[in-house]
Copies of this chain bind each other. A is one copy, B any other.
Amino acid sequence: MTEQPAPTTTAGDPATARGEQTRQLIRDTAMRLFRERGYAQTTMRAIAQEAGVAVGNAYYYFGSKDHLIQEFYAQSQVEHRAAAQPVLDREESFGARLAGVLHAGIDVLTPSHEFAATFFKTAAEPTSPLSPFSAESSGPREAAIALFAEVLDGSTAKVDADLRPQLPELLWLAYMGVVLYWVHDRSPGQTKTRQLIDGVVPLIDRLTALSRLRVLRPVTRQVLDLIRTLRH
């Protein structure tokens, strides 16, 4: 419906391919509609119409409606990293850094809570490329794990030597748990999720510190052995 202005004076990134503009247009339109109407209520026809293209054109750039979600992932991850920067600059203690980064993640996701809730079902399907554990999601996942490595590395925490290399991924897993809780969180403003973070961070802090304690070393070993067994 809306006439697209001719893409004349876009001399900025000469490296962009011909269809890059259309791709971004479709992606941005989709993200906007998802946020406005929710995932299920946003039809591919509506996205195409609002973007001023044909339905099939959207499928030229994105394999399916679900694949548009992956754009949301990637975008969120970048925003999360940016939102975490001040915390990483400011805080030194492990607990404060971890809490800050977890809160930053939820901060970024909060505006999309309603729509995120409905699409997380797609992410939970193991066969789907959208699963956070899938190969297709390895990019954002690795970046997220790297973020938690920064949380650990920049901190003053003393951690069991064998646990340390595994910890970033475990922290990411904990973050996935927080997100899972957040998705189900029906409390106003998702206050409960904030309480979960504030409650679970001191626990993690305490447990990692205790991991060096003599009585707990066998348990620590047991946990690490199990993890090694389960990871291929």
Contact = CB atoms under 8 A, between A and B. Distances in A.
27 contacts: A117-B125, A117-B126, A118-B125, A120-B126, A121-B121, A121-B122, A121-B123, A121-B124, A123-B124, A124-B125, A126-B183, A126-B186, A131-B184, A181-B230, A195-B226, A195-B230, A196-B226, A199-B225, A199-B226, A199-B229, A199-B230, A203-B219, A203-B222, A203-B226, A207-B219, A210-B219, A215-B215
A49 to B, nearest CB: 26
A54 to B, nearest CB: 27
Given A117-B126, A215-B213, A219-B207, A133 B184 contact: yes
B226 A200 contact: yes
Contacts of A213: 215
Q: Is the interface of A mostly helix, strand, loop or mixed?
A: helix
* Count of chain copies: 2
Interface in A187-232: 192, 195-196, 199-200, 202-203, 206-207, 210, 213, 215, 219, 222-223, 225-226, 229-230
B215 A203 contact: no
A155 interface: no
A127 interface: yes
Contacts of A229: 192, 195, 199
Interface residues of A, number: 36
Contacts of A127: 117-118
Contacts of A22: none
A124 to B, nearest CB: 3
A42 interface: no
Contacts of A137: none
Interface of A: 117-118, 120-128, 131, 133, 181, 183-184, 186, 192, 195-196, 199-200, 202-203, 206-207, 210, 213, 215, 219, 222-223, 225-226, 229-230
